[in-house]
A = this chain, B = another copy of it.
Amino acid sequence: MKTYFECIPCFVRQALDAVRLATDDEYVHEDVLRSILRAASEMDLRESPPVMGQHIHRMIRHLTGEKDPYRSIKDRFNEFALRLYPELRKKVERSTEPIETAVRLAIAGNIIDSGVNSEIDETNVHEAIEHALTEPLRADLKEFMKALDRAGSILYLGDNAGEIVFDRLLIEQMPLEKITFVVKAGPIINDACLADARKTGMTELVEVIDNGSDAPGTILNSCSERFRERFEKADLIIAKGQGNYETLSDVDKDIFFVLKAKCPVIAKQIGCEVGSLVFMRSSAQDWPALKQNTQRR
């Protein structure tokens, strides 16, 4: 997906959020802001938004010397989600449609996105769970189960810390031996890294690898050679969150995108309303129909 004009104000806001988290020094804030504006004035809009996101957050880490500004936010949401986990797991186990409930909860967890909303809190997560369990979900889960069954190897591209616990609920419903969970190689916003996979028990459940990159999505040419090989060889990709959708929507591969549409640009691109639960296959030809099947949130 290309970068839309509407993404630019959002980059600026996100940069401000991140630099304020990294330092209280207002001179650094201004320095970062001016650098971002210059970079944005020259950016290639054919690139996906995470290309700019990667650039912005690298610059902030460089200028502030703070290697992981979102560390405490990531810890907080890992711990919060782990506290919710037993109850959510019961919801899945007691459901008449466990896979559907697990998909819904995995989408709910996608609300934990500090890139879109720097002020996300526990109440938002509770609301997102409630919403995800009741709102329309247009998903052909039989097709999904069939794809899981046929695939020899599956890459599950993770998104954020905290959210990773919600992904665990879905992965537990899948053939574990086929799954490799993928995290970012270096800190980027509140995206899950290896430490988060360890803290949330993901490493005990399935193989976990990193993608060699610090982009907030999966920019293949920013990933390691080793990861790209795994990506190419995988029979099926499950791509979680907006960043993975933005970076992989034009990649020719069998991908299930699982996310909550949190911004108007993504919602418009997908053809749904902001707030919709999105579960769709890259090869599906019927996305525009989504629009009629989702509700405004």
Q: What is the interface of chain A, defined by CB distance below 8 A to chain B?
A: 5-6, 8-10, 12-13, 16, 29-30, 33-35, 37-38, 40-42, 45
| Cα separation A190 to B35 with both chains bound (whole Å) | 32
How many Å from the CB of A156 to the closest CB on chain B? 34
* Complex interface: chain B residues within 8 A of A5 (CB): 16, 29-30, 33
Interface centre among A5, A6, A35, A40 (most CB of B within 10 A): A5
Q: Is the CB of B34 within 8 A of A42?
A: yes
| Cα separation A37 to B40 with both chains bound (whole Å) | 7
17 contacts between A and B (CB under 8 A): A5-B16, A5-B29, A5-B30, A5-B33, A6-B16, A8-B12, A9-B9, A9-B10, A9-B12, A9-B16, A12-B12, A30-B45, A34-B41, A34-B42, A35-B41, A37-B41, A38-B38
Instruction: Report which of B13, B34, B41 forms a contact with A9, defined as CB distance below 8 A.
Output: B13
How many Å from the CB of A145 to the closest CB on chain B? 43
| Cα separation A12 to B16 with both chains bound (whole Å) | 15
* Complex interface: chain B residues within 8 A of A33 (CB): 5, 8
| Cα separation A30 to B34 with both chains bound (whole Å) | 19
* Complex interface: chain B residues within 8 A of A16 (CB): 5-6, 9
* Complex interface: chain B residues within 8 A of A10 (CB): 9
| Cα separation A284 to B138 with both chains bound (whole Å) | 58
Q: Which residue of B lies closest to A36 (CB)?
A: B41
How many Å from the CB of A272 to the closest CB on chain B? 20
How many Å from the CB of A8 to the closest CB on chain B? 5
